[in-house]
Structure formats: C-alpha cells, structure tokens
A and B are shown apart, each in its own frame.
Chain A
C-alpha cells in the first residue's frame, strides 16, 4: 500500500481564493511527522509546513495551514488568498519514528495552477 496518497494530479484556483490540497497517509506508527513541500518549475523543493502526530493544534505558517485529521489519516494543505506565484507542484511527505529511517516518503504530488 502507498504510504502517502495525493489523489489530485492537478488543481485550478482563482487568484485570491483559498484552495485545499489533499493528502492521506498510511502508518501504524504512533509517532510520525508530516511535511508539505512546494516545487516550482525551477526544481527546488521548498519546505512549507510541518505537523507532528502528537501536535494538538493544526500547524499554520502565514498563508499555509494544515488541516490535520488524525483519525482519518489525512493532512490536507490549505492555501489562503492564492497568488500567481503559488503555481507549482505540491508534495506531501511523511517520516515515521519506528522505521528509524531519516528519509522522507513522498506522495506523487499535485500540480496547482493559479489563474488571474
């Protein structure tokens, strides 16, 4: 089974509107971390936001927030007030404590296009 599932290959949003990018994950570990990265066409992966499995509050970073629903194993990224510069690929990723691995497991990504 896939560890990280992003079911939306592509999304469109109007400038200044909010958009939600979906991410579901699969783990039996009690301690894990969830990350979102943005990848513009230039290629660099830019860290956006982090949510720990024991964090009681949803993470927020400026216009980014994470809608964390632990029981449903979902960690959706919400971008408020979309800007043209938000057009990019967005990846959800996870690290599990019990595997002992440092590396992140990534989803297949969602391409977001912001329209003027």
Chain B
C-alpha cells in the first residue's frame, strides 16, 4: 500500500448504529487530519493530530470521536449520527515542520457516508 488509504470506501448506517472509519498513511508523516466534505460546501476541517496528540478540534459534535493510536493510523468513531452528517469524509497526512506554510497535505480517497 502506498500513500493514504481509507476504509471503508462507502458506508450506509442508521442513526442508532456505531461504526468506525479508518485511515492509514504510508508516507512517514507525523500529522493526520479529518475533513468533512458536504454537498455544495467547502471542505471543513474536523480534527488535527500531531505526533498522536490532538491539536485542533473544529467544534465537532461529540457524536464524532477521533482516535490516533500512532502516527500512521487515524480513526473516526461514529455514533448516533444524523442524516445531515451524510458526506464524504477525507483523511489527510503531512510532515509537520515548525510552522512551515508550505507543508503539503496528502489525502486519501475518502469514505462516502450515508446516514439513514
């Protein structure tokens, strides 16, 4: 596997279900991100992890729970979601430097989530 992988690619869940999204990066990076892309809206940052520590949380509802066990893996645990949470969830990674504006993020293929 190369780059950033995400599983599953597609997910349909009911509002009472619990599911998890998985992201793995094979680039040796130390920062990982979750973004949400809803229809007709710009990408929205959800969470940022740097060296396994959460450094940014963009006021995300608690029904989304991230987990970063190591620098290569990132999870997003989902429970009691709402239909408006249906979206494309994108994971990204980067090599975190010291405030470098040119730090490039590399994205996975995303998980298309539909909440019924």
A interface with B by C-beta (< 8 Å)? 4, 31-33, 35, 37, 42-47, 50, 52-53, 91, 93, 95-97, 100-104, 106-109
Contact = CB atoms under 8 A, between A and B. Distances in A.
Interface string B49-69: 010000110100000000000
Contacts of A4: 42
A35 B104 contact: yes
A102 B101 contact: no
B103 to A, nearest CB: 7
A33 B94 CA distance: 14
A44 B42 contact: no
| Contact-residue bracket for chain B | 20 to 34
A53 B101 contact: yes
B42 A96 contact: no
B4 to A, nearest CB: 9
Given A45-B90, A97-B99, A102 B48 contact: yes
A43 B31 contact: no
Nearest to A29: B101
A96 B104 CA distance: 13
A15 to B, nearest CB: 26
B112 interface: yes
Contacts of A109: 42
Interface string B95-108: 01001011111111
Interface in B7-62: 31, 33, 40-43, 45, 48, 50, 55-56, 58
B98 to A, nearest CB: 11
B81 interface: no
Given A44-B110, A45-B92, A108-B41, A102 B102 contact: no
Contacts of A52: 101-102
